[in-house]
Amino acid sequence: MSYGPHNQEVNTTREFQHHERLENTTGRVTPHKSLENSAATRTLEWLHEGKAFRVAYDRFGSGPEVLFLPAMSTVSTRHEWDTVARALAGQFAVMLLDWPGFGDSSRLKAEYSPGLFHVFLRDFVRSEFRQRVSVVAAGHGAGYVLRMASRETGLWSRAVLVAPTWRGPMPTAMGEHPKLYSILRNLVAIPGLGSALYRLNTSRWFLRRMYGRHVYANRDNLTEPRLGQKQRLARQRGARFASSAFVTGGLDPFENRAGCLNALGSTQIPVLLVFGEGTPPKSRSEMDALEGAGSHLRMLLPESLGLHEESAEALVAPLREFLSNRSCLQNLAGGGGPPGRGGIAGAVTHPIDPRAV
C-alpha cells in the first residue's frame, strides 16, 4: 500500500513483482515460487516515485514467520544475520531482507529519506505476510521497526531490537548541523568528486578503524577476508548515495530522543532490547535511555554495535525462547536473575506488560 493525494490509502499490490535467482542459472531470472527449506536468493521489484528498486532477500526454514532486518551502514547486509537465522530455521520460517540502497539491493541514485524506508517497510510487510510477524532488527533497522510500530497497527507480533539506533554516526559524534550534513550529501552525489570522496571513506584503513572503534569489540574478528568482503560490499556501483544519507543523519527514523522514547513507550507488543556493553559511549547513552520507556525485556552482551555478528551464537537460544513466547510466560511466572548470557529470563530488567502478551 502507499498513499495518494490527501493521504488517501491506495492499493499498490502491483508495485511488488517477485523474482527468484536460482543458483547455476547464468543470470536467468525465473518467476517467484515457494521453496520451503532452501536458501535461494530472491529479488522483488519495488516501484517508488518512478524508480524501480530491486530488493534482495532470502527465505528459508519452516514454522512461524520471522523477518530479519540488518542495520543501515556502509557495509550492512542481510547476511550479517546468517548465523542466527540458520540456527533458528529448524523452528521458524525466516526471511532476511536487504534495504533499498544497501546490501545486494539496487543502489540507485535517489532521494533516500526516512519516508522512503517507512513506506518500503510497510509495503513489504503488507505484501509478504498474511498476519502479524515477529521481527528481529539491528541498528537503524530497529529504529524503523519502532517507527512502524508507533504509526502502523497490526504489522508486528513481537520485536527484538539489537543495538538499536535512531541517529546517524555524524550527528551522534558531532552534534546537529543539518546544513553542513546536507552540503556533504550533495558533494558525495557529484559525479567524479563524490566517488573519489566516498572511495577514501571506504579504504581498508578507514573500514578497519571504523570497525575497531565502533562495531567490533574484538578487533581480531575483523580478519583480512572479512575486511575485503566488507570493502567489496561498500564499493558497489551507486553505494555512496544511501550510505552518505545514513552517515550524515539523513535516514534517522526519529528527529530526537523523545520521539524514539515515545515510540517505544507506546508499543503494545512484547519487545526484547539487546545492548552491548562495549557500545561507544554516546550510542550507549541513547540505548540506556530506552530502558525507562515502557515495560520490556533487556539482554546485555559484552560486545558492541556489531554484537549480532560477534555474538551470534549467544543470541540464538534467547531469541528462540523469546520468539516462541516462552520468555513471556517464564518472566510473568516470576523468573529473573542477574544480567548475563544465560537467556532472557536471566537478563530481565523490566517485565513485559501482561496486557501486551
Q: Which tens digit of pLDDT belongs to each residue from 283-340?
A: 888 888 888 787 789 888 888 788 888 888 999 999 999 999 864 534 433 333 333 4
Q: Which residues lie closer than 8 Å to 321 by C-beta, 6 or more apart?
A: 327, 330, 343, 344, 345
The mean pLDDT of 69-84, rounded to a whole number, is: 93
Any idea which of 26-35, 142-151, 169-178, 322-331 has the lowest mean pLDDT? 26-35
**Residue 271's pLDDT is what?**
94
**Residue 13's pLDDT is what?**
39
Q: Which residue has the higher pLDDT, 69 or 189?
A: 69
Any idea which of 190-194, 199-203, 285-289, 333-337 has the lowest mean pLDDT? 333-337
**Residue 326's pLDDT is what?**
63
Strand order in the sheet with 271-276: 30-31, 16-20, 41-48, 51-61, 93-97, 65-69, 133-138, 156-162, 271-276, 297-301
Among candidates 291, 308, 292, 233, which has minimal Cα distance to 73? 233
**Residue 147's pLDDT is what?**
94
Give residue limits of the domains in the chain: 18-170+252-356
The mean pLDDT of 172-187, rounded to a whole number, is: 88
Give Cα separations from 298 to 37, 189, 271, 294, 342 (angstroms).
31, 40, 8, 12, 12
CA 102 to chain centre: 11
Any idea which of 51-60, 117-126, 140-149, 178-187 has the lowest mean pLDDT? 178-187
In terms of DSSP bridges, do strands 271-276 and 133-138 run parallel, antiparallel, or are they unpaired? Answer: unpaired
Name the band, by pLDDT with cuts 50, 70 and 90, for residue 115: very high
- Note the pTM of the prediction, 2 decimals: 0.81
CATH dotted code for 18-170+252-356 = 3.40.50.1820
Q: Residue 336: which region, alpha, beta or left (left: phi > 0; alpha: psi -120 to 50)?
A: left
Q: Which tens digit of pLDDT belongs to each residue from 231-281?
A: 888 888 988 999 999 999 999 999 999 999 999 999 989 999 999 887 888
Q: Which tens digit of pLDDT belongs to each residue from 22-63?
A: 222 222 222 233 333 345 688 999 999 899 999 999 999 999
Q: Which tens digit of pLDDT belongs to each residue from 83-114?
A: 999 999 999 999 999 999 999 999 999 999 99
Q: Are 352 and 328 in contact (CB under 8 A)?
A: yes
Sign of CA dihedral 28, 65, 72, 82: negative
**Residue 29's pLDDT is what?**
25
